[in-house]
A = this chain, B = another copy of it.
Amino acid sequence: MTVIDDVRADGVTLEQIQTLFNPRTIALIGATDKSVWSLSIYKNLLNSGYAGEVYLVNPKGIEVHGVQSYPSIAALPERVDLAFVMVGTGVVLQVMQDVADAGIPAAVVLTSGFGEVGAEGARLEAELVRIAQEGGVTILGPNGNGYVNLASNTIPYGLAISGTIRSGGIGVGLQSGALASAVIQLIQTRNAGLSLLCSMGNESMVSLTDVMRYLVADEATKVLALFIESIRKPEEFREIAQAALAAGKPIVALKVGRSVMGAKAAQAHTGSLVGDDAVMDAVFRQAGVIRVNSLEDLIVTADLLASTGPLPGPRVGFVTPSGGACELISDRSEDEGIEIPEFTPETIARLKEVLPDFAAARNPIDVTGYILIDGTLAIRALETVDDDPNIDEIVYIAELPHVVADHDVAVERFARQAEVMRNTKKPVIVISNTLVDITPAGREVAAAAHFPTVVGGMHHGIAALGAAIRWSEQYRAARAQSAAPAIELEPLEVESAPGEVFAERRASLLLAENGVPTVPHVLVTSADQAADAAEQLGCPVVIKLHADEIAHKSDIGGVKLNIASADAARTAFEQVVEAGRTAGVAEPAALVQPMRGAGVELIVGVVRDPQWGPVLAVGLGGIWVEVFKDSTLHMLPVTHEQVKEGLRSLRSAKLLEGARGTQAADLDAVADAVVAVSELAQRLGDRLESLEINPLLVRGSDVEALDALITWR
């Protein structure tokens, strides 16, 4: 989908979106028996049991889809709430004028041939938007299939839907029209409940973030599921995501274009840390958005979360009818960071009473094939686990029947289990063995038995469970944080010119003055001063040429390490100053710093992403950043905990634990320093182009910036 930014209009209100999605009357403009779209929309509206009036508009005023049409919008018997426009591209502008003139507040424009086909189409789209804005019409589309609102039984949607969709808590926003059918089918075959599904089209007025805002406010919606090609309003996206987290509504997102990782043209080191998709990952992670990589995970994860809401913790008790399932579950749980704790002795003793002699009373529980003889085995095991204090929630592996021989027998069997699950103290999540359809027959049994959601297969289900557990932790952290008073950071004005660079002394003074631990230094202009400084700081020291204009001082002999005495400091001063003169520095001075021992060297940088703004990157120096691009990214502001979490997620994280005789890094001390850097960057605001500390030396709890570079805009 081509992004033509200039035709997008901001400022669609929540109220406008609510009107768009909840019309009391609908007119289909351009209805004709010759169009598959027209027929599909009409059928969808009929089948949905839509309570309002549907009018058809056809210029000939003939019978269409078996009912009498109106020859024009003006001829409609009342002012409708929604115009569904599917006329030819050539007449869309005129029709939109008619829509506006008729006072219709909202329109879905199915017609294509706009921004998505090139510059000429983009001009047409801009004109369409102008007419709509002037006429007070909110447009969804163009080049979109409309939406499915099951909360209000309103389906002005342009593609055929076969079978019914269950009404429920998943709200879907899709930036791909054609995949909508696949998503709907997946929702149906999972027996998942849908609140609203919106096919975005070109987003000329209503954008994905507008739909997200609606879904967060919508009572019927418990979870948002998004298929994202590009986020057009980054700030809005972050705000709404935050609101969703606060409201306890998870967002699950499939963001495509992972593989397009254009390298950024930014400052040498830190710039290379930032790739577009890595920034996207950081945005999602920090905003509490669950990122998935398949349509299956999108729907399965949303389905699970729509049924459970926030989960109490990471410790899961599993009840399965098979040893093979136990092993698969163990493997997958380790992948996903799910804990499978041991049961308490009490639970084990009680389980032994429930299970056959040859079964092992351990987590995950294999109730064994004996379940064929005693059908209550699994559910009784579940009741036992419900009392175990080591367990936060229970996973129950079970299948709805694919084919139902005797409906009543099946309903009774599942109703018995459902009853037990309704009365547990802990959340119970039912997961099937594999991702096979919940068939119409199975759906009927589930409905009649009030059987809970059956999550789609151990493979995707345990991925979903892991995501749900992590999201729940974030949700709790966000609630705890929102309880604490927010700290307002005061803007900091620094005298600087656009493009100016603060190296070494000026950069490190700015850092030191603003709470970032920085190695001390003394500026010296004579050998005597150098000797004094060495004594004052304590040997060994480092003596460096002080000249911002020279980027790589060690290359010209401008850095002397490990100076062991005041006398040596004199010599070193003369040498670096001479090196400076040779390199053309008029009045070279030098900096004297204490020489630090070995430690872990981090690079901490803040760079500006063109879309998302300042991004904080933290990683280990040397090969880790240069060769392995191993860094953790954060959007600002960032919390102490998020920085620690990020450090632990580095591929090189083990080196922070004190490998090979070096001291383990105190992650709290590192996080404090990094948060100080990020707060400074926030206070510097838009003036800051980039800030890099390289290295931030970590020796246990001693954390110090040894060198820094700041570039101004």
Q: List the interface of chain A (C-beta within 8 A of B).
A: 1, 36-37, 112-113, 116-118, 162-163, 174-179, 181-182, 185-186, 189, 227, 229, 254, 256-260, 293-297, 321-325, 327-328, 330-334, 357-358, 368-369, 372-373, 399, 402-403, 433-437, 439, 457-460, 622-623, 626-628, 651, 654-655, 659-660
Contact = CB atoms under 8 A, between A and B. Distances in A.
Nearest to A37: B372
Contact of A627 (B37, B177, B457, B659): B659
Contacts of A435: 296, 435
A1 B229 CA distance: 47
User: What 6 pairs across the A-B complex have the smallest Cβ distances?
Assistant: A176-B324, A178-B322, A256-B327, A182-B433, A294-B459, A437-B437
Contacts of A297: 459
Given A322-B176, A654-B628, A655-B623, A162 B327 contact: no
A256 B324 contact: yes
Contact of A331 (B259, B324, B331, B369): B259
A324 B178 contact: yes
Nearest to A372: B36
Of residues A163, A321, A434, which shows the largest number of chain B Cβ atoms within 10 Å of its Cβ? A434
Contacts of A295: 328, 433-434, 457-459
Contact of A257 (B174, B331, B458, B660): B331
18 contacts: A1-B323, A36-B372, A112-B369, A113-B358, A175-B324, A176-B327, A178-B369, A179-B325, A227-B324, A254-B328, A293-B331, A293-B332, A295-B328, A295-B458, A437-B437, A623-B655, A623-B659, A627-B654
A178 B323 contact: yes
A705 to B, nearest CB: 23
Contacts of A229: 323-324, 327
B189 A436 contact: yes
Contacts of A373: 36
Nearest to A323: B176
Given A296-B459, A437-B437, A178 B256 contact: no
A86 B705 CA distance: 75
A297 B435 CA distance: 11
A645 to B, nearest CB: 20
Contact of A328 (B256, B403, B436, B439): B256
A627 B655 contact: yes
Contacts of A259: 330-331, 333-334
Given A323-B178, A651-B651, A626 B660 contact: yes
Contact of A162 (B117, B402, B659): B402
A322 B660 contact: no
B294 A403 contact: no
Given A256-B330, A297-B459, 5 more contacts: A178-B324, A181-B433, A185-B402, A294-B457, A628-B654
Contacts of A260: 330
Contacts of A1: 323
B434 A327 contact: no
Contacts of A182: 399, 433-434
Contact of A186 (B186, B227, B434): B434
Contacts of A623: 655, 659-660
Nearest to A367: B178
A326 B403 CA distance: 35
Contacts of A162: 402-403
B626 A178 contact: no
Contacts of A117: 357-358
A296 B463 CA distance: 14
A118 to B, nearest CB: 8
